[in-house]
Chains A and B, each alone.
Chain A
Amino acid sequence: MRAARTAYPLTWRIMDVLEAFAAFVWPTSFRRAIPYLLLAPALLLVGLLVLGLIQIGDLSLRTLDTSTFLLSENYTLANYRKALTEPLFVVVATRSLTGSLIVTVVTLIFAFPYAYLMVRTRSAGLRKFLLIALFLPFFIGQVVRAYGWLIILGNQGMVNEALGLIGVAPLRLLYNYPAVLFGLVQYMLPFAVLMLAPALTAIPEELETAAASLGANWVHSFIHVVLPLARPGLVGAGLVVVTLSLTDFAMPAILGGGSQDFIANAIYDQFFRTSDQGLGATLALMLVALGSLLVGIVFTLFGAGTLAMGRARQ
């Protein structure tokens, strides 16, 4: 009896029962369905977003009756006409688009050297320091970071107090367009570096050495070797930064102080201030369309870059 127990331990018994159970509820002939079964929970969760978009689409076709504050029963395209012609929305859309482009360029200019140094440095300590300096703000969240900038840049903030000590009159550093863009660049830097780093790791260092031994100085080898090979990373990073800054809410709301609204702030106002859910839904749907269009264009032109998941990535 005792010998039998050591030869057939308890864990094996449990495993065998579980295997038998698994084989009973899921016979081998069903094997082909396994990947789809594994995917089901994720597909269902993302399905909530699709349902949400359908709801938004439905709302966007109803107009608000200003006398009863009810949404119309029948569908019209009036909201879309209003969204495209209303000067305020045109101003907000232009501001967000130019802003996100400026933020992307500036972010990539600073993210590239950061990622490059992080990947290429020989010192493990420096690499860890750079990684920690990157992850700390990434994990702290937008509101706390914006709060830090309020303390630094406010009218009685650190910069102005320091300027006051040397006799310079206080500057208005907050609640303007540059403040919002600055906040967005800081918010986007970790995303951009983390998208760029794997692409730079994939570039063999020997290529740069080879370019140097053939007489290229570092500027040439950077322009002709590193930059072209880093394209997948640049595409991924640029895409993430453009879409996230175009659709950001917190930085324009906190550092713009209500005067520098981006599209997301305008949508929020339609839902919670003006209570015109139809118009808000229209703007939201147009923003979704714009974002998808951007992603679609970049994907078809350059491929998915570092954004692809699973086997397609290899």
Chain B
Amino acid sequence: MITSTSKSVILWGFVSIALIVLSAPTIVVLGSSLTAGNMITFPPEGLSLKWYAAILRATDLRDAFLRSVFVSAVCTIVAIPAGTFAGIALAKYAVRFEKAIQVYLLLPFTIPLIGSGIGLMLIFGNAGVLGQLWPVGIACCVINLPFMIWAVTASAASLDPDLELAAANCGAGPLQTFLYVTLPAVTPGIISGSLLMFILALNEFLVSLLLVDARIVTLPVQIYNSIRSIITPDLAAISVVFIACAVAAIFLLDRLVGLDIFLKSK
């Protein structure tokens, strides 16, 4: 409830600053990608799509993008079953050592990314799979897995256990109950969780940086390597690809489960 004038002035003051700070980089990257000049300048030197044409011809950028998509796909395909089953187990069953398992499953968040990344680099190095792309996908899955589990437990917790008992009472076997009652109930969680996993893996930078070599750089690493030399508008154009993916993910998330799900009190 917002009634008092002084309250809404202060509230809006903070929120406007936050909005500007949140949106400024996105808007500026979008604007710079449309420049007609060879340098990023302000005010921009006219509008053109020539940098988009340039990135279509740049095979290194396109390959890096395709590698990023592959990494995200591996990450999501592994995360869906692992996260869904773990989420259902945590939400529906009395598990022994539940506290310990919770703490253990939160390890990807409590271990700093640089620690996880270097640990996985050593593990994959010993296994001799470093230099391939799929370990990067597995690594992205491991470090973001709690997001998937959260999404599923949130849905599973709202499923009334009596529904499953009712299904069993009507003659459904355990498998049928799972497929027709439990799984549909957690589907919104699976959808939002896997979208999150995909988009986070697409953007994952530090773990990619540690696990890739020069032959298999992913797009965030490619951009990082390029902005350390010289900032050209083609980087802005390729960054717009990320913005487009983010917009698509938000649209899907909103359509399929509704963004409001993130405001629900747990």
Q: Specify whether A and B are partners.
A: yes
Q: Provide the bound-state CA to CA distance between A163 and B265, in Å.
A: 45
Q: A49, B224: Cβ atoms under 8 Å?
A: no
Interface of A, secondary structure class, is: helix
List residues of A (212-266) whose CB comes within 8 Å of B's CBs.
Answer: 212, 217-218, 240, 243, 246-247, 249-250, 253-254, 263-264
Is A148 interfacial (CB 8 A cutoff)?
A: yes
Q: A308, B22: Cβ atoms under 8 Å?
A: no
Q: B262, A194: Cβ atoms under 8 Å?
A: yes
Is A306 interfacial (CB 8 A cutoff)?
A: yes
Q: B102, A309: Cβ atoms under 8 Å?
A: yes
Identify A39's interface contact among B40, B95, B153, B157, CB under 8 A.
B95
- B64-102 vs A, Cβ < 8 Å mask (1 yes, 0 no): 000000000000001001110111111111110011011
Is A110 interfacial (CB 8 A cutoff)?
A: yes
Q: Provide the bound-state CA to CA distance between A307 and B243, in Å.
A: 28
Is B1 interfacial (CB 8 A cutoff)?
A: yes
- Nearest CB of chain B from residue A88's CB, rounded to whole Å: 17
Q: A53, B142: Cβ atoms under 8 Å?
A: no
Identify B236's interface contact among A45, A140, A151, A201, CB under 8 A.
A151
* Known A49-B107, A131-B259; contact A137-B26, beta-carbon cutoff 8 A: yes
- A150-166 vs B, Cβ < 8 Å mask (1 yes, 0 no): 11101011100110000
- A187-220 vs B, Cβ < 8 Å mask (1 yes, 0 no): 0011000100111011001001100100001100
Size of A's binding interface in residues, CB under 8 A = 115
List residues of B (193-232) whose CB comes within 8 Å of A's CBs.
Answer: 199, 202-206, 209-210, 220, 223-224, 227-228, 231
Q: List 19 A-B contacts (CB under 8 A).
A: A23-B173, A46-B104, A114-B15, A114-B18, A136-B250, A137-B22, A139-B245, A141-B204, A144-B203, A150-B231, A157-B42, A158-B42, A218-B6, A264-B112, A264-B114, A291-B112, A307-B109, A310-B91, A310-B153
Q: Which residues of A contact B (CB under 8 A)?
A: 15, 18-19, 22-23, 34-43, 45-46, 48-53, 55-56, 59, 109-111, 113-114, 116-121, 127-128, 130-137, 139-152, 154, 156-158, 161-162, 185-186, 189-190, 194, 197-199, 201-202, 205, 208-209, 212, 217-218, 240, 243, 246-247, 249-250, 253-254, 263-264, 267-268, 271, 280-281, 284-285, 287-288, 291-292, 295, 304, 306-314
